[in-house]
Amino acid sequence: MNNIIGFVRTSTMKQGNSIKVQEKSIRDYAKDKNLQLTDIIKEEGISGSRVDRQGFNTILKLVKLKQIDGVVCYWLSRAGRNASKVLELINSCLDNNVALMSVKEGIDTTTAGGRIQAKFMAVIAEEELLTIKERIKDVIRYKKKNGLVYNGSPAYGTYIKNGLLYKDDFEYNVVKNIKNWRSRGWSWYKCMKKLNENDIPTKMNTGRGWTINQVKQTFKYHYEGQKPQLIG
């Protein structure tokens, strides 16, 4: 098989020796499998969870453009600690008929068994993503219920003090007005227009006025799902 790209990665510069071990293993694997290894892309000192990963993204681009015949990873499950990236690489290779091989896990999608292994790993990665998302939702629900801050900025109608959420009286009255308008059958657009006509500032007070999405999100935060526990 021609035009095969290898991929090795370490999360810290201190693991420099590991790069050499990975690279040698990939070269030995390619030689044993009679593969023409044209390049090995390296990422040193970059956390697998970082989105901005030039080497990894280069491989994805080559796969999607079908400019290579295959990818050999030293350890596929560690190509990115972010499960979504591992999932994207697996699915991209399968969808574009690019061989995907892993030295440590023994995966080779040129075989039926290897494709099953890759698909199984994709399922595991997807399940991991769903689990992470559910955990995040649980944390948000807990913090919202207990009046704790769960993101970098407070929602409209609230403010932060000592890590707790307090009710902003002026903004909260605006929130109640939105609820009242909605109960009277007003559309989101009409609510937005009313706020802007009355020069009611948004949370960031950028001077651009309210958008329909901002009105929706403000209403949903206070009146849908787990209601926030506010102080004051």
Convert the pLDDT of each residue in 36-76 to its tens digit: 999 999 877 554 444 446 788 899 999 999 999 999 999 88
Same domain? For 82 and 127 the reply is yes
pLDDT-derived band at 195, boundaries 50, 70, 90: very high
DSSP assignment of the chain equals --SEEEEEE-SSGGGHHHHHHHHHHHHHHHHHTT--EEEEEEE-S--TT-S--HHHHHHHHHHHTT--SEEEES-GGGS-SSHHHHHHHHHHHHHTT-EEEETTTTEETTSHHHHHHHHHHHHHHHHHHHHHHHHHHHHHHHHHHTTB--SSSPPTTEEEETTEEEE-HHHHHHHHHHHHHHHTT--HHHHHHHHHHTT---SS--SS---HHHHHHHHHHHHSSS----B-
Q: Which of 101, 134, 167 is the last residue of a domain?
A: 134
Identify the CATH number of the domain in which residue 99 sits: 3.40.50.1390
Mean pLDDT of 202-211: 84
Number of domains in the chain: 2
Q: Are 148 and 220 in contact (CB under 8 A)?
A: no
pLDDT of 225: 65
Domain that holds residue 104: 4-134
Same domain? For 99 and 212 the reply is no
Answer whether residue 11 is part of any domain.
Answer: yes
Q: Which of 134, 167, 186 is the last residue of a domain?
A: 134
Q: What predicted TM-score, i.e. pTM, was given to this entire model?
A: 0.53
Q: Which of 134, 164, 185 is the last residue of a domain?
A: 134
Listed ranges 12-21, 35-44, 73-82, 140-149; the one with the highest mean pLDDT: 35-44
User: 223 vs 215, which has greater pLDDT?
Assistant: 215
Answer whether residue 232 is part of any domain.
Answer: no
Same domain? For 119 and 169 the reply is no
Same domain? For 38 and 82 the reply is yes
Same domain? For 76 and 43 the reply is yes
Answer whether residue 231 is part of any domain.
Answer: no
% of the chain at pLDDT higher than 90: 42
pLDDT of 49: 45
